[in-house]
Amino acid sequence: MSKRVLTTESGAPVADNQNSASAGAGGPLLLQDQHLLEKLARFNRERIPERVVHARGSGAYGHFEVTDDVTGFTHADFLSEIGKRTEVFLRFSTVADSLGGADAVRDPRGFAVKFYTEEGNYDLVGNNTPVFFIKDPIKFPDFIHSQKRDPFTGRQEPDNVWDFWAHAPEATHQVTWLMGDRGIPASYRHMNGYGSHTYQWTNAQGEAFFVKYHFKTNQGIRCLSSEQAAETVGRDANSHQTDLLQAIERGVHPSWTLYVQLMPAAEAADYRFNPFDLTKVWPHTDYPLQRVGRLVLDRNPDNVFAEVEQAAFSPNNFVPGIGPSPDKMLQGRLFAYADAHRYRLGVNHTLLAVNAPKAVPGGARNYGRDGLMAVNGQGRGAKNYEPNSYDGPAETGRPLSAPLPVSGHTGTHEAPLHTKDDDFVQAGDLYRLMSEEERSRLVANIAGGLSQVSRDDVIEKNLAHFHAADPEYGRRVEAAVRALRED
């Protein structure tokens, strides 16, 4: 059986792929060797800009199956009947480190799900924690700069990390999560996922509900201590990727059960916490978990670059029955995520297979044209404006979700305070839920980082946050930091 012929990018056969063309056997190379120049030029361009955050990622395909009736809360078609299945792609990631970073590190994990629904793609972009460090997107670039490699030393600096947190008391809740036992998952399969933000569901009657998503792992929660994580990184820096790939390849398909918390929209204004504050949870005693369905991953990507690196998730990709809330961080991400993909991948990134809506054969139907890598097949006289008289795609007049009421004057505003709003009560609640062993590990993890800070005033500001969350919490962290600094 003859081998397939190697070709150039233009399809011409390659005569010699082992030796460059030269001026004589020992002479300099020739500019006319198009095959050599093409290979080197393409190699130089193999890498696209990596994500500023969530650069290190893994992903897999699967399906979501509805197990419970939620039609009283949303008219989203993919949730319309028990037993209905929707194809999904899920990308896991670490947040702070670069593409070449290790998996088993103390860092939040991204948990981004793309539902290929019959009404378009729905992207649910969340983390493995139900809260985050900040509540306003204007602080996001500063926060990430404080956590990334320092521009002078080229490494993550405790001074930067803890100085930002010292000036962001709202981060105390997430810091308590991050420094606790769930700060380093043993694998992507053994952690929960959360939508984290507050979203809106709208039913067929136009009634609006605010919703939070909880994906509970069916493999059970498993985490690593700092010592176990260091050993794991030394053994296999790609430990989470290895685990996910091998599990699916051997037929062990990880799964999560999706639950939601639902709040009637009319209750939001008077709720004791600001329900749109990303640094806070809704206690389950107030809004119990309601089961929705089961998510299963059963197929690995064929090409990690094409399908994981180029996967583009945007929280503004909604479908009828689901929409945004006044969550400030969500509002900022509605722009920032899509714009990041336009920068990294180009304006036509939704034409890539992993991002293309399966609901619309041939790609999205709109009037966007041209741009880098434009291949949309909308030629032969198709008009590129709307409205038109040539049967082009037209609007439906049906909003995806219920309108949000607004009032007041334009300007920069702090979020309105609810009766139980402060930056520390939920961090203290989380601390008091922990066992004595969990508290000891939490204190040790915080002290290990905070004790490395060079400025006493930064240390004191952070200690004040832990004291405010819980007096015992503060005393133990303070004592542990003092002991480490005296050694």
Q: Which residues are catalytic?
A: 54, 127
Nearest to 485 by CA among 216, 158, 207, 178: 158
Paired tokens of 61: 């395909």
Residue type, 360: V
In terms of Cβ atoms closer than 10 Å to its own Cβ (0-12, 13-18, 19+), residue 257 is: middle
In sequence order, what DSSP letters do the residues of 211-280 get, joined into one string?
Answer: EEEEEEESS---B--HHHHHHHHHH-TTHHHHHHHHHHHTT---EEEEEEEEEEGGGSTT-SS-TT-TT-
Strand-pair category, 199-202 with 208-217: antiparallel
Paired tokens of 311: 């996967």
CA atoms within 13 A on the CB side of 46: 7
Q: Cα(428)–Cα(2) distance, rounded to whole angstroms?
A: 70
Which H or E run contains 360? none
SS (H, E, C) 423-471: CCHHHHHHHHHCCHHHHHHHHHHHHHHHCCCCCHHHHHHHHHHHHHHCH
